[in-house]
Chain A
Amino acid sequence: MTERSARDWLVVQDVTKDFKGLRALDAVRVGLERGEILGLIGPNGSGKTTLINVITGVLPPTSGGITACGRDITGLPSFKIARAGIARTFQTVRLFRDLTVGENIEVAALSVGKSRRAARRAAEEAIDELGIAHWTDEFASVLPYGDERRVEVARALAMTPDFLLLDEPAAGLNEQESEDLLRILAPIPTRRNLGMLIVDHDMHLIMRLCDRLHVLNYGRTIGAGEPAEVRRIPAVIEAYLGSAAEEGRDAPA
């Protein structure tokens, strides 16, 4: 990777994360380029959410480094990582319930340093992109579940990030809602020139949406590449068959 192209990458370099004797991430290496959609998949407890938490500074890594656009962001507090151009959503929706939908989105744009005017413009753009304009003046606490998910994505987009990390954006959505969301998400990386990392269990959605896949199991990378290649890797097949057999139970971490 040349110095020049490093400006377009989010690079996770040999990141390890230990929780009291449990290795949640084991020397994971992932690169995410602007303009692409990378699917991060793996059975329950394989470390997907932990990886997002480590990248966004919610958890400090035990070892390893992370750079965004060539800048070292390892160990920074999460608000600085957000300002460095990395936005995220959460596995369980985390909206600001006593703020309106408009405020939820505008405050994110303001917090990364935009002026009042620019923040408002970024918020409007994100609101239109996600098709939630009719909710703008309502409190976030009154939203139906499916729209909560959209507001969370709009909030992240209003930060005009270089990299967008989506933690199970389709979890809990019905087939139609999930289909609609996919249609909204697919063109975003190209239009906004951002790298999108998406964690999801819906393999149908992942296979259709992603340019590349990265597979974790027990915190270790067991496969990476284009979707068609990855689904032929024996370790991946085994992990997924194993997890399918244990469906409904928590897989060991």
Chain B
Amino acid sequence: MREILGRAPYLNTVLTLLVPLVLIAAATDAFGGTVQQRIVTTMFINMILVLGLQVYMGNSGIVSFAHIGFMGIGAYASAVLSMPPDLKAMTLRDLYDVLQPIDLPFWLAVTVGAGVAGVVAAIISYPLMRLSDAAAIITSFALLVVINDVLVHWSEVTNGPRTLFGVERFTYLWTSAGVAFAGLLFAAWFRESRVGLQLRASRDDRVAAQSCGVNMVFVRWVAFVLMCIYAAIAGALWAHFITSFQPGHFYLEEVFLILAMLVIGGPVSVSGAVIGTILVTLAFEGFRALEGYLNTNQVFGTQVFGLTEFLLALAMIGILIFRPAGVMRGRELRIGRRHRGGRGMPATKERAAD
């Protein structure tokens, strides 16, 4: 065991993070009521989104808003593919004839949905990957707006701005938890991978990285597509959890929530993504309970709507001011030895063994 962990320290990080996550899921499964089950299932779906954002934003250093649009693509694509034809005839009356009879099993629908989002992302994003700094952020925002516009107006497939209903429920607690665990393993591996290392080098210094042979556009592109696939899978799971939704769900509110989770946890490490998701979920539910309490008891003599979002925004501002690298400050959680940024070199290990 020690041998394996020594060679691939990311496994140590993954196992360290899995312990509390499995405990949360198991405890919710055993003791949680319907409300807790919903909260934790949603938390794991959000965790997939945050991990995907970490893969791109954390490693490239470029903020992106676009991935929530791809969450929408994954949600609609998988929903249309998995919905039984008779239901489709009712909810999507203008659906193209080709798509009408398709009735895929859940996991296949998720896979195809993720594939569609991945292909769209791969085609659209390549020319954008040259951009850095503000230009990159603005274009990712523009991409989000464009995707939202398409979802709102492509009523043949999405039922337009209206709610799409009739999606079957397939996603339960362990479904979302299991996918989140797989996403965690992949994100931790990717960070140490060939492309991940090159991407992180380009994040720290663009000129130096390219002078070392890093094809920056390519490595950014790979990570961007991976992020969109993460988002699409999360969207597909969410669609089959919430069972009715509209394009507005894949927009600014969700963007802000997922971004807040990553920024508060610390975007540079996978541990930051996981910890941020848990912390913000706790805070969010705490604030919401507070808002409910204040409203039912008329503490301020009036209703206080939006307190939850307001406090969450305050928390994000606070983190950015007092701990700009997030709660985890770019470190990975690891059991057993002092944290080091990456893999130890055999040369030093031999020396230490002497």
Chain A residues near B (Cβ < 8 Å): 56-58, 77-79, 82-83, 87-88, 90, 94-100, 102-104, 106-108, 110-113, 116, 120, 123-124, 127-128, 133-134, 136-139, 155-156, 159
Contact = CB atoms under 8 A, between A and B. Distances in A.
A79 B213 contact: yes
Nearest to B348: A136
A127 B208 CA distance: 18
Residue among A95, A102, A139 with max Cβ neighbours from chain B (10 Å): A102
A134 B345 CA distance: 11
B209 interface: yes
Which of the listed residues B213, B216, B341, B351 has the most CB atoms from chain A within 10 Å of its own CB? Answer: B213
B344 A127 contact: no
6 contacts: A98-B204, A107-B214, A108-B213, A111-B213, A112-B213, A155-B212
Contact of B345 (A83, A95, A127): A127
Contacts of A82: 210-213
Interface of B: 194, 197-198, 200-201, 203-205, 207-216, 268, 330, 340-348, 351
The dominant DSSP class at the B interface is helix
A90 B208 contact: yes
Given A97-B204, A103-B341, A120-B346, A110 B197 contact: yes
A107 B201 CA distance: 8
A109 to B, nearest CB: 9
Contacts of B208: 90, 94-96
The 4 A-B residue pairs with the shortest CB-CB distance, nearest first, are: A111-B213, A82-B213, A94-B208, A96-B204
Residue with the greatest number of chain B CB neighbours at <10 A, chosen from A95, A106, A107: A107
A58 B211 contact: yes
Nearest to A108: B212
A83 B351 CA distance: 32
B343 A111 contact: no
B352 to A, nearest CB: 10
A99 B213 contact: no
Contact of B212 (A107, A134, A136): A107
A113 to B, nearest CB: 7
Contact of B197 (A79, A107, A127): A107
A200 to B, nearest CB: 19
A20 B212 CA distance: 29
B204 A99 contact: yes
Contacts of B198: 107, 110-111
A74 to B, nearest CB: 17
Contacts of B345: 102, 120, 123-124, 127, 133, 136-137
Nearest to B351: A133
